[in-house]
Amino acid sequence: MCLLTGAAGVLGSEFCRRYAGEYDIVAVCRTRAPVVPSQLETYVDPLDPADQEAASVYTVFADLREQAAVDRLVEVALARFGRVDLLVNAAAYTKPYSQTMVDGDAALINLDEHLRTNVVAPMRLATTLAHQFWMHRAADNLADNRNIVNISATAGSTVYPFQGQAGYAASKAALNALTGHMAAEFRSFGVRVNTVVPNAFPGAISTGRVTDAIIQFDRGKATGSAIVLDK
């Protein structure tokens, strides 16, 4: 089973559309659901109403910045499916600040918002899932190849000529560092942790390449590694 955050975004929606037939997906959203069959929506062919597309996506609304919401999310996922084999941390805050870094407190406030969603939330969810399910199941984790894929960005290692990106870039650089340390610590109970590092999608690269990289990590054995998609 896959627990996917940011499920209503460009990447999350594409992942659900492409892989809902292969995974049971708990699609985590903050305000809007992905446009895929779920317990919230059923797709019906008007020419053949009896032919309804089966839903393998279960949508949950949660603010991942709040510990109580994360606790509830993990409890719901485990109650429904009994396991989590893949965690994809794709939720992201991406809003730039509008002025320069030295114009008042805007850039500092912006940095705090980026860190809360792009760094603290993935760690909060991963550690909560570890406490509630993974930590005492090392043999099962290894047998089921359980893993985490964090979605970073090339902005975490490249200074692009666009004003207002410092908060976003710093958060992605921090996520890269967090991934390496998480891989080292989660190894003790058999859970792998990797990161996909794309340039802007679907502009610079296709969204499909990002989803394919997630699947490559899920089906492989690597940990503490990164797939960079820059061209």
pLDDT tens column, 2-51: 999 999 999 999 999 999 989 999 999 988 777 676 655 655 455 555 54
**Cα atoms in the Cβ-side hemisphere of radius 13 Å centred on 13:** 10
CA–CA separation, 158 and 140 (whole Å):
39
Calpha distance 138→130 (Å, rounded): 11
Domain boundaries in the chain?
2-229
pLDDT tens digits, 139-169: 999 999 999 999 999 999 999 988 899 999 9
For residue 126, what are its two tokens? 């991963």
Mean pLDDT of 70-96: 97
> What's the chain's average pLDDT?
92
Topology at the third CATH level for domain 2-229: Rossmann fold (3.40.50)
Instruction: Give the model's pLDDT for residue 99.
Output: 85
